Copies of this chain bind each other. A is one copy, B any other.
């Protein structure tokens, strides 16, 4: 947890952030998220959202008593979500198979507990992207991607300073992939078989080799396949959106006995191979791919700090439209 070094400045607004993940919910309050959080708490997600959201509201209310009234809230959540502010189910988790959470009104309890406070809302991965963009490994960049490769593969990011949205939201894990010579694995994605997620997510690796990725030896041939596929997929993302940097988070990058540094080294080499010298940029020539494909700086805190950034943006947006 990144704790704020100084005590709260009474002149600055207090922000509340909520990251809702499939296994845990993390809440934090901060008046200066660039420095850290004043307080942070973690709940198990479980299967009873209304009880859990009541606890969340209670925790934020305690923080208000300890510090100051919340000026704004931000929520970054697992999905799929209804992100359309004109929709009657805006703020809901929609069709998730997660027990208890389908059609869950995530924002409703917060709205009732903290009326008249603006609430920012976005996907978990856009939240993590915003966290790394404002406080972490992509500080100062207007065009970058944040990719998480773990239980699934998701991506978010900024283009010209705005979070990527559109028709729904990006589903970068489900892009089509070429087959490496001799690879007969049919992939683990129930929708697309051997899409990127079907090849490189933690469960895909486990299904292919019959063991968890965390336990795989450094010389297991699976690491060669995974890093090559990672390079191909990241090359596709680079061609499509031309990011200035890709921040790669999630658990798979820790790469068992291979280790994170070697996983990044091989993935960068595979990415260079996939681009084939086609993308010519002074930034890539001078710094190589070491500065282009990087690990997150906030680690597990990216999501909740992204939620705090959503709160900052919601407050600024409310001030503009006043």
Enumerate chain B residues within 8 angstroms of A3, measured Cβ to Cβ.
none
Size category of the A interface is 35 or more
Enumerate chain B residues within 8 angstroms of A284, measured Cβ to Cβ.
167
Q: Choose among A171, A173, A233 the residue with the greatest number of B CB atoms under 10 Å from its CB.
A: A171
Can you list, as one digit per residue, whether each of A264-285 has a CB less than 8 Å from chain B (1) or not (0)?
Answer: 0000000000101111110110
B174 and A177 contact, CB distance less than 8 A: no
Can you list, as one digit per residue, whether each of A233-262 has a CB less than 8 Å from chain B (1) or not (0)?
Answer: 101111111111000000000000000000
Each complex incorporates copies of this chain amounting to: 2
Q: Check A208 for interface membership: any CB of B closer than 8 A.
A: no
Enumerate chain B residues within 8 angstroms of A194, measured Cβ to Cβ.
178
Task: Decide if the interface of chain A is mainly helix, strand, loop or mixed.
Answer: loop
The stretch that binds B, out of A48-56, A106-114, A158-166, A304-312, is: A158-166
B167 and A276 contact, CB distance less than 8 A: no
Q: Check A212 for interface membership: any CB of B closer than 8 A.
A: no
B240 and A240 contact, CB distance less than 8 A: yes
Q: Choose among A95, A167, A179, A281 the residue with the greatest number of B CB atoms under 10 Å from its CB.
A: A167
CA distance in complex: A168, B240 (Å): 11
Q: Check A207 for interface membership: any CB of B closer than 8 A.
A: no
> Closest chain B residue to A245 by CB distance?
B167
Q: Which residue numbers of A lie inside 8 Å of B, CB to CB? A: 80, 95, 143, 155, 159-179, 191-192, 194, 232-233, 235-244, 274, 276-281, 283-284
